[in-house]
Amino acid sequence: MSTVTLPGYRHVYSGKVRELFVPDGREDAVLIVASDRISAYDFVLASTIPDKGRVLTALSLWWFERIADLVPHHVVSTDVPAEVAGRALLCERLDMIPVECVARGYLAGSGLVDYQSTGSVCGIDLPAGLLDGSRLLEPIFTPATKADRGAHDENVDLAHVERVAGVETADELRRLTLDVYVRAEAIASERGIVLADTKFEFGRRRDGSLVLADEVLTPDSSRFWPLDAWQPGRSQPSFDKQYVRDWLTSPESGWDRHSGEEPPPLPAVVVQQTRERYIEAYQRLTGRAFS
């Protein structure tokens, strides 16, 4: 549940990272508040990352401006209650499509695991001999189920999206996902960052048009690697929460991710370095100082 009480707003939902509120007397909008919580391996960790919610919000706004000609977004206003200023957006209330729309330009994460097992990702056959961090010949659309809090997103093929959303919508989701990824990957590359993969969420307005929602192209939803250190065949240094995943699965944490037990709290140094990575991603991409 939310730990924030906002006069004039009704709390309606707690996600892994975000809290949703509905303005009193207004059902066409939703206030989305980004907390400092961090999740990994389907758990919301006991530790928080200071300023994380502010980074996600500011970076999403920056990206929305740069892809607005490709797809409309859901942001209505940044005029929000003082208690959540800098970490909240007033947005359109949409009929959300229950699919994670993932674009991959490089092989990593669950895509790498699937490839090593089957030679394909989400039903898309890939060339033999690819390594951890290999760049793909072209970006691919690799959707996943949209799991509830505490559940696990599962990679699916395009046919699954067609069954869930219809053939025409699935085709449009694929096109928009790849269009936005290609634009963002080029922008990130100019700033010395590899955008390895990213995920989007879309919803529909009452007129049926698709709208980009939630957060976009942040260290929570994307893999950001320093371009000058990219080297296929190994785990890449990153400006995202992979650093947290790596610590959790290291001997230092003492945690078995398959045990079903809650992960341990993050050490102070991991919290601090995670914060620094998120801020560095923001500053490298935007060219702006974070304050």
CB proximity list for 76: less than 8 A, separation 6 or greater: 29, 89, 90, 91, 92
Q: Cβ distance 200 to 180 under 8 Å?
A: yes
Is 153 a residue whose pLDDT tops 90? no
144 within domain boundaries:
yes
Whether residue 106 is found in the same domain as residue 243: yes
Whether residue 15 is found in the same domain as residue 117: no
264 within domain boundaries:
no
291 within domain boundaries:
no
Whether residue 226 is found in the same domain as residue 110: yes
Report how far Cα 192 is from the mean position of its chain's Cα atoms: 20
Is 226 a residue whose pLDDT tops 60? yes
289 within domain boundaries:
no
How far is 158 from 71, CA to CA, in rounded Å? Answer: 20
170 within domain boundaries:
yes
The answer to whether the predicted template modeling score (pTM) of the entire model surpasses 0.85 is yes
288 within domain boundaries:
no
Exposed / middle / buried, residue 31 (Cβ in 10 Å: 0-12, 13-18, 19+): buried
25 within domain boundaries:
yes
Domain extent for 61: 9-92
Q: Which two tokens stand for residue 103?
A: 């674009």
Whether residue 99 is found in the same domain as residue 88: no
Whether residue 178 is found in the same domain as residue 242: yes
Whether residue 248 is found in the same domain as residue 107: yes
Whether residue 148 is found in the same domain as residue 218: yes
Is 2 a residue whose pLDDT tops 90? no
User: In this predicted model, what pLDDT tens digit does every residue of 186-223 receive, in sequence order?
Assistant: 999 999 999 999 999 999 999 999 999 999 999 999 99
Q: Cβ distance 233 to 132 under 8 Å?
A: yes
- b (16+ CB within 10 A) / e for 39-65: bbeebbbebbbebbbbbbbbbbbbbbe
Whether residue 147 is found in the same domain as residue 78: no
More confident residue, 4 or 13: 13
Whether residue 54 is found in the same domain as residue 169: no
Is 147 a residue whose pLDDT tops 90? no
What pLDDT sits at residue 27? 87
> End of a domain among 62, 77, 92?
92
Is 106 a residue whose pLDDT tops 90? yes
CATH number of the domain to which 58 belongs: 3.30.200.20
Whether residue 235 is found in the same domain as residue 123: yes
Q: How many domains does the chain have?
A: 2
Whether residue 155 is found in the same domain as residue 29: no
Mean pLDDT within 122-148:
94
How far is 92 from 74, CA to CA, in rounded Å? Answer: 5
Whether residue 123 is found in the same domain as residue 244: yes
88 within domain boundaries:
yes
CATH number of the domain to which 166 belongs: 3.30.470.20
